[in-house]
């Protein structure tokens, strides 16, 4: 009987076990996450920057489980070993080796199940240039003017002339990263007009003929209004000492009908007292208190919408010196020689020795007032060679160790010469010619219509007294029989009917015999220019000797047109400092001596002193 009960009990246990397995609920099964789509690097890219940003799409999990990703990077085709990175993001940046082939895929995991993407192959670039840096617009900007001048740094490469840039613009990068437009350029900026109130992404692909490298990707959003807030120009932000007499300046609001725009300048002091001015102009001069903190903004109104600029802060100076006055170049001039000597008054201060001046030169002041070249000086002038046919703006910041003052801002435009001066070829500068039958040669002027170019050949037979021979020709060669054992100076003036350009001045000797000892060449002027501030002035010149002998100099200086007073004799340096008075015209020349007693006198130069 016990045996029957035992069999019955075992049978019952078996039946319960079978039912427990069969009755397991299918609803408790866990769904597999969807495979991700690989976005970047794309399949078989042959040159990608070694600093690689891997990107892939989101994975979907039907159960709503949290998903993590395993980025797997392989350096061999067998996929036997990998560098694994676990992340909850859909992008990761990894530094890899140059010039190497890699493979990658992504595993999506919900903790229980996994799905693996396809595998992409790519190759990093050989290191012959670096990716560019994106400058403007910056990432994350939420209101960028739709009329955008994209800017980026030049690629680091020995020969930048061979570099080519592709501006790649995405209008739906997150959803459709394979949809974009390309602009191929040979410069590092490009202007485009985009749609308003739209998110964009952009990058630059640089190519130097050997390798192609992609920059990072930056995103931004264009403004959604029918005009944009103005850009504040002056005073700049957080200036700690500015003259209380301020000419507030701001840029245009982007609007079809600029005449309809109205500006409201608001100036707030530290007690929240507000000065308000309604204007049509984009500037307003206001006199504020010394030693006080202020903030300012501009509200623009085109009749439909009102836009408010950023708020900028600044402080006016405690009164211990005055801002400088800009002298040259004056504002508004439309044709200034591109070889410019900037000049300004000295700051009014008891101890001028402690004063430093910072000259700031802007080449795109209206659109980019924060971009400029800066030169810190102890003098109140600076010579610079600028680009032709370009608008510039400039100001001077003075600093006496206690306070900093900014001058006003002046703008000017350099002349637009339509051809370049010729290059002198033969005889070379400083050459000793064995023959006295010389065929002079020079390059052609760079001009669109070379048929109309005329050259004026000038050769000085007595440089000291400014005696020369002048010959007109349409050719770029000319033969002359010259005296032996003599120094000559020559240059070429080119004229295309619109503008005249003058070449450099070259000097040469014709050989008399092999034992000749030659006098030095005539000294050439370096400084000062025609107008200069009074006080300490440095006279500078250059001089050559074909025999490479040591040279000494005598300086003649005075207020007569041909000065007779010697102010320095037997000096070896080719510069000399003198003291001058204001509102005077001075004349000077140099006599150069070599070791064997030969001497050459230079031309008489002059300059004017300012207040």
Are residues 330 and 310 both part of a single domain? no
- Region of 497 (left: φ > 0; alpha: ψ -120 to 50; beta: rest) is left
Residue 490's CATH number: 2.60.40.10
Q: What global pTM score does this model have?
A: 0.30
CA distance 504 to 525: 13
Contact between 490 and 463 (Cβ < 8 Å): no
Domain end marker among 68, 101, 124: 124
Within-domain flag for 584: yes
Within-domain flag for 330: yes
* Cβ burial, residue 77 (10 Å; 0-12/13-18/19+): exposed
Are residues 555 and 605 both part of a single domain? yes
Within-domain flag for 3: no
Cis peptide before 235 (omega within 30 of 0): yes
Within-domain flag for 24: no
Contact between 279 and 354 (Cβ < 8 Å): no
Domain span at residue 57?
Answer: 38-124
Contact between 87 and 94 (Cβ < 8 Å): no
Cis peptide before 329 (omega within 30 of 0): yes
Domain total of the chain: 6
Are residues 558 and 594 both part of a single domain? yes
CA distance 246 to 549: 58
pLDDT of residue 248: 92
Within-domain flag for 6: no
Are residues 544 and 490 both part of a single domain? no
pLDDT of residue 458: 93
Domain end marker among 102, 124, 146: 124
CA distance 7 to 14: 11
Are residues 375 and 393 both part of a single domain? yes
> What six digits make up the tokens of 417?
């010469």
> What six digits make up the tokens of 36?
């991700």
Are residues 45 and 113 both part of a single domain? yes
Q: E strands along 467-551, which residues?
A: 467-473, 477-481, 486-495, 500-502, 506-510, 524-527, 531-533, 535-542
Are residues 146 and 115 both part of a single domain? no
Are residues 492 and 544 both part of a single domain? no
Within-domain flag for 1: no
Are residues 574 and 495 both part of a single domain? no
Domain end marker among 476, 510, 544: 510
Are residues 436 and 492 both part of a single domain? yes
DSSP secondary structure string for all residues of 550-591 = --EEEEEEESSSS---EEEEEE-SSEEEEEE-SS-EEEEEEE
Which residues neighbour 331 within 8 Å (Cβ) at sequence distance 6 or greater? 410, 411, 412
Contact between 220 and 140 (Cβ < 8 Å): yes
Cis peptide before 41 (omega within 30 of 0): yes
Are residues 239 and 159 both part of a single domain? no
Within-domain flag for 27: no
Residues of the chain with pLDDT under 50: 2, 16, 18-27
Within-domain flag for 563: yes
Q: How far is CA 422 from CA 106, 261, 404, 412, 509, in A?
A: 63, 50, 45, 27, 22
Using alpha carbons only, what angle is made at residue 124 by residues 118 and 126, rounded to the nearest 5 degrees?
160
């Amino acid at each position: 009987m016990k045996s029957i009960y035992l069999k019955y009990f075992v049978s019952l246990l078996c039946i319960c076990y079978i039912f427990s397995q069969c009755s397991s609920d299918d609803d408790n099964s866990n769904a597999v996450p969807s495979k991700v789509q690989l976005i970047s690097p794309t399949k078989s890219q042959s040159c990608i920057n070694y600093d690689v940003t891997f990107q892939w799409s989101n994975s979907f999990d039907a159960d709503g489980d949290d998903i993590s990703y395993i980025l797997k990077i392989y350096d061999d085709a067998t996929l036997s070993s990998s560098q694994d990175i676990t992340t909850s993001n859909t992008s990761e940046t990894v530094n890899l080796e140059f010039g190497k082939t890699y493979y990658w895929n992504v595993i999506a995991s919900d903790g229980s199940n996994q799905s693996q993407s396809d595998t992409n192959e790519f190759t990093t670039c050989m290191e012959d240039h670096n990716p560019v840096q994106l400058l403007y617009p910056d990432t994350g900007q939420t209101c960028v003017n739709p009329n955008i001048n994209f800017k980026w740094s030049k690629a680091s490469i020995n020969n930048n002339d061979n570099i080519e840039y592709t501006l790649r613009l995405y209008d739906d990068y997150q959803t459709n990263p394979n949809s974009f437009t390309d602009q191929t350029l040979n410069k590092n900026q490009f202007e485009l007009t985009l749609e308003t109130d739209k998110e964009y992404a952009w990058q630059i692909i640089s190519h130097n003929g050997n390798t192609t490298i992609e920059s990072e990707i930056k995103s931004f959003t264009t403004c959604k209004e029918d005009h944009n807030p103005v850009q504040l120009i002056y005073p700049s932000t957080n200036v700690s000492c500015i003259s209380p007499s301020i000419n507030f300046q701001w840029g245009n609001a982007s609007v079809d009908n600029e005449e309809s725009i109205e500006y409201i300048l608001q100036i707030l002091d530290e007690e929240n007292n507000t000065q308000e001015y309604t204007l049509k102009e984009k500037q307003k001069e206001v006199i504020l208190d010394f030693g006080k903190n202020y903030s300012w903004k501009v509200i623009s109104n085109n009749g439909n919408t009102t836009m408010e600029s950023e708020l900028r802060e600044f402080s006016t100076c405690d009164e211990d010196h005055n801002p400088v006055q800009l002298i040259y170049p004056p504002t508004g001039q439309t044709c200034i020689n591109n070889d410019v000597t900037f000049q300004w008054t000295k700051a009014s201060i008891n101890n001028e020795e402690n004063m430093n001046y910072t000259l700031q030169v802007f080449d795109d002041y209206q659109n980019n007032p924060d971009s400029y070249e800066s030169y810190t000086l102890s003098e109140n002038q600076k010579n610079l060679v600028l680009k032709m046919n370009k608008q510039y703006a400039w100001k001077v910041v003075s600093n006496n160790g206690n306070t900093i003052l900014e001058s006003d801002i002046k703008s000017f435009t350099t002349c637009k010469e339509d051809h370049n001066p010729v290059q002198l070829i033969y005889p070379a500068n400083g050459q000793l010619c064995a023959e006295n039958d010389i065929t002079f040669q020079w390059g052609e002027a760079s001009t669109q219509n070379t048929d109309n170019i005329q050259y004026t050949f000038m050769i000085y037979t007595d440089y000291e007294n400014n005696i020369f021979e002048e010959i007109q020709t349409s050719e770029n060669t000319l033969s002359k029989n010259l005296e032996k054992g003599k120094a000559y100076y020559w240059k070429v003036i080119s004229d295309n009917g619109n503008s005249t350009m003058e070449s450099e001045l070259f000097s040469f000797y014709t050989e008399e015999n092999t034992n000749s000892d030659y006098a030095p060449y005539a000294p050439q002027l370096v400084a000062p220019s025609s107008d200069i501030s009074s006080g300490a002035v440095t006279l500078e010149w250059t001089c050559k000797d074909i025999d490479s002998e040591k040279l000494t100099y005598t300086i003649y200086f005075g207020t007569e047109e041909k000065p007779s007073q010697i102010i320095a004799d037997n000096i070896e340096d080719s510069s000399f400092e003198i003291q001058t008075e204001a509102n005077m015209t001075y004349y000077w020349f140099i006599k150069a001596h070599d070791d064997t007693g030969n001497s050459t006198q230079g031309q008489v130069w002059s300059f004017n002193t300012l207040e």
